[in-house]
């Protein structure tokens, strides 16, 4: 078996579709199948079950997946450390997250990390969606991702960090700005500025509102909460955002944030391929983040 065989097997288990893996690897589906067949012949047992709409790992495939994933992570970590030793670098840390995360969560952490580790190369990969962050992890473009915590993701470990209330963001001079809190049912028929449907946090919020029998009328769609809050000030409608984003922007924008008392909080946190395989500098960054 080759390293490419193992990487393709992991990708097939994650994607559950050989055509998707072929596109990801820039090759043909028959070529992908040959790698899987070679592994199955060498191990003497089927690893993937072919189905009409894709593939699923067999029991043997599931066992093999866990061990291969751990081995590939160890190889990647060892390769990086040898490269760093050869080049004389102290280390390189890659982090992927949404474009506004540094402003709202990481400013102090980045400054403190740079103060402690001035020779470490910091690479930030801005991603406009949860899916892009996970892709950056899987493609080894990043060691860590700071994301909205959601459903389990095959091959990715998530660690919740902070829970945050949802707030309704309204213009500062709107009558609702005087309220101390409100219920989800009071959001019916508001002129709503939403994030794109591809946003994990937006999907979570939509599901929470649906559970409360609330369906907001979307008037405007934007890429991030900061833009939504700016549009509120411009009179384009109301936004629903995490409390931290609204509070941080309240001074520069004439807006008010009213907690929505009966909605479960949104959770943010870290994701990586494997926590125990993270380089020490990545673990140190997370520790500094938690402290600051």
Longest alpha-carbon distance in the chain: 71
Record the pTM.
Answer: 0.71
In a domain, 31, yes or no: yes
User: Does residue 78 belong to any structural domain of this protein?
Assistant: no
CATH number assigned to the domain comprising residue 100:
3.40.190.10
Domain co-membership, 150 together with 281: yes
- Given CA atoms 152, 155, 159, 165 in this order, what sign does their dihedral have? negative
Q: Is residue 173 part of a domain?
A: yes
What is the structure's pLDDT at 112?
A: 94
Q: Examine the fold and report which residue of 29, 47, 72 is the final residue of a domain before the chain moves on.
A: 72
Same domain, 178 and 260: yes
Query: Based on the domain organization, do 170 and 257 belong to the same domain?
Result: yes
**Domain contains 203:** yes
Note whether residue 84 is domain-resident: no
How far apart, in whole angstroms, are the C-alpha atoms of residue 82 and residue 88? 10
In a shared domain, residues 158 and 170: no
Radius of gyration of the chain (CA): 22
Assign 13 to helix, strand or coil.
helix
- In this structure, is residue 83 part of a structural domain? no
Buried b (16+ CB within 10 A) or exposed e, 169-207: bbbeeeeebeeeebebeebeebebbbbeeebbbbbbbbe
Tokens, residue 286: 């997370």
Domains in the chain, number:
3
Q: Are residues 260 and 275 in the same domain?
A: no
Cβ pair 268, 149 in contact under 8 A: yes
Instruction: Based on the fold, state whether residues 180 and 146 are members of the same structural domain.
Output: no
What pLDDT is recorded for position 84? 57
Q: Do 275 and 157 belong together in one domain?
A: yes
Identify whether residues 283 and 260 lie together within a single domain.
no
- Can you read off the two tokens belonging to residue 105? 């969560």
Residues 6+ apart with CB under 8 A from 86: none
**Do residue 175 and residue 251 come from a single domain?**
yes
10: CATH: 1.10.10.10
- Asked if the structure places residue 7 within a domain, the reply is yes
Distance CA 87, CA 91 (A): 10
Distance CA 77, CA 75 (A): 5
Which residues span the domain enclosing 29? 3-72
Same domain for 23 and 55, yes or no, is yes
Query: What does each of the 292 residues of the chain score in pLDDT, given as a tens digit?
Result: 898 999 999 999 998 999 889 988 888 989 999 999 999 999 999 999 988 888 999 999 999 998 898 888 778 777 776 765 554 446 789 999 987 898 899 999 999 999 988 888 899 988 878 888 998 998 888 999 999 998 998 889 999 999 999 999 999 999 999 999 999 999 988 999 999 887 899 999 999 999 999 988 888 999 999 999 999 999 999 999 999 999 999 888 899 999 999 999 999 999 999 888 888 889 899 999 999 8
Residue 82 lies in a domain: no
174 and 234 fall within a common domain: yes
- At 128 the pLDDT is 75
**8 and 43 share a domain?**
yes
């Amino acid at each position: 078996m080759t390293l490419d065989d193992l990487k393709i097997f992991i990708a097939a288990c994650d994607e559950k579709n050989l055509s998707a893996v072929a596109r990801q690897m820039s090759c043909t589906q028959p070529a992908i199948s040959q790698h899987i067949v070679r592994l199955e012949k060498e191990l003497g047992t089927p690893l993937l079950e072919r189905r009409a709409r894709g593939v699923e790992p067999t029991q043997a495939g599931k066992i093999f997946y866990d061990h291969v994933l751990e081995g590939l992570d160890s190889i990647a970590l060892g390769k990086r450390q040898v490269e760093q030793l050869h080049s004389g670098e102290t280390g390189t840390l890659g982090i992927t997250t949404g474009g506004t995360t540094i402003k709202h969560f990481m400013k102090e952490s980045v400054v403190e990390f740079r103060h402690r580790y001035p020779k470490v190369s910091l690479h930030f990969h801005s991603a406009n969606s949860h899916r892009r962050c996970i892709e950056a992890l899987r493609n080894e473009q990043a060691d860590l991702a700071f994301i909205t915590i959601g459903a389990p993701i095959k091959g990715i470990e998530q660690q919740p960090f902070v829970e945050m209330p949802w707030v309704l963001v309204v213009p500062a001079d709107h009558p609702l700005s005087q309220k101390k809190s409100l219920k989800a049912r009071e959001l019916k028929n508001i002129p709503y500025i939403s994030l794109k449907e591809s946003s994990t946090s937006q999907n979570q919020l939509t599901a929470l509102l649906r559970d409360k029998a609330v369906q907001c009328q979307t008037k405007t769609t934007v890429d991030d909460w900061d833009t939504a809050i700016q549009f509120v000030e411009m009179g384009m409608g109301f936004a629903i955002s995490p409390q931290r984003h609204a509070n941080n922007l309240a001074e520069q924008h004439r807006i008010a944030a009213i907690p929505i008392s009966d909605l479960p909080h949104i959770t943010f946190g870290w994701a990586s391929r494997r926590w125990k395989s993270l380089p020490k500098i990545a673990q140190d960054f997370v520790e500094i983040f938690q402290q600051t």
